[in-house]
């Protein structure tokens, strides 16, 4: 019996599209609120021209918590002070396997999916998304 070819799932097929994005000048307290309100782990950071400049995640905020910065100073801190840059990205045409390799290689839990210009954030895919896709 010949097996039927099943094309590999692409990142664009699984990503959370139309991501919530933030700018580098947003306060970290507001970012923490957005992450909690939407129950998400990270957000693409874009500049005034809409170009991807980094990502801010729960991990970045935990690093702030663990740092020597006094909690009384947190309200003055901005995304630019804690974000990870550059963001680890893949194009929407990447396979889930390629996404998993990129996450592993860069030790990150999420990737920003970018367009052909490699600067426009189209979506986000997380390690949780990949795990949910395993049974498919």
In a domain, 57, yes or no: yes
Decide if 105 is inside a domain. yes
| In a domain? residue 46 | yes
* β-sheet bridge partners, residue 44: 55
Residue 77 placed within a domain: yes
pLDDT tens digits, 101-127: 999 999 999 999 998 888 999 999 999
- Domain containing 74: what range? 11-133
Give me 110's structure tokens. Answer: 């999420």
> In the prediction, which pLDDT does 8 show?
78
Question: 6 lies in a domain?
Answer: no
For residue range 42-76, what is the model confidence (pLDDT) as tens digits?
999 999 999 999 999 999 999 999 999 999 999 99
3-class DSSP assignment, residue 85: coil
Q: Domain count of the chain?
A: 1
Residue 32 has pLDDT above 50, yes or no: yes
The residue among 62, 63, 45 whose CA lies nearest residue 54 is 45
What is the total residue count of the chain? 136
The CA–CA distances, whole Å, from 121 to 50, 58, 108, 113, 136 equal: 8, 19, 17, 6, 26
Give a yes or no: residue 85 inside a domain: yes
Q: What does the alpha-carbon distance between residue 51 and residue 54 come to, in Å, rounded to a whole number?
A: 9
- Furthest CA-CA distance within the chain: 68
CATH number of the domain that residue 121 is part of: 3.10.580.10
2 located within any domain: no
Residue 38 lies in a domain: yes
Distance CA 22, CA 79 (A): 8
């Amino acid at each position: 019996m010949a097996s039927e070819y099943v094309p590999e799932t692409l990142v664009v097929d699984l990503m959370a599209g139309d991501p919530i994005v933030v700018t580098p000048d947003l306060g970290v307290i507001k970012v923490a609120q957005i992450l909690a309100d939407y129950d998400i782990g990270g957000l693409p950071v874009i500049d005034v021209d809409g170009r991807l400049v980094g990502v801010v995640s729960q991990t970045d905020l935990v690093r702030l918590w663990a740092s020597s910065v006094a909690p009384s100073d947190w309200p003055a801190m901005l995304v630019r002070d804690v974000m990870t840059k550059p963001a680890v990205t893949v194009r929407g045409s990447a396979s889930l396997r390629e996404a998993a390799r990129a996450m592993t290689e860069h030790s990150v839990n999420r990737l920003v999916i970018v367009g052909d210009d490699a600067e426009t954030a189209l979506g986000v895919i997380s390690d949780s998304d990949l795990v949910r896709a395993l049974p498919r």
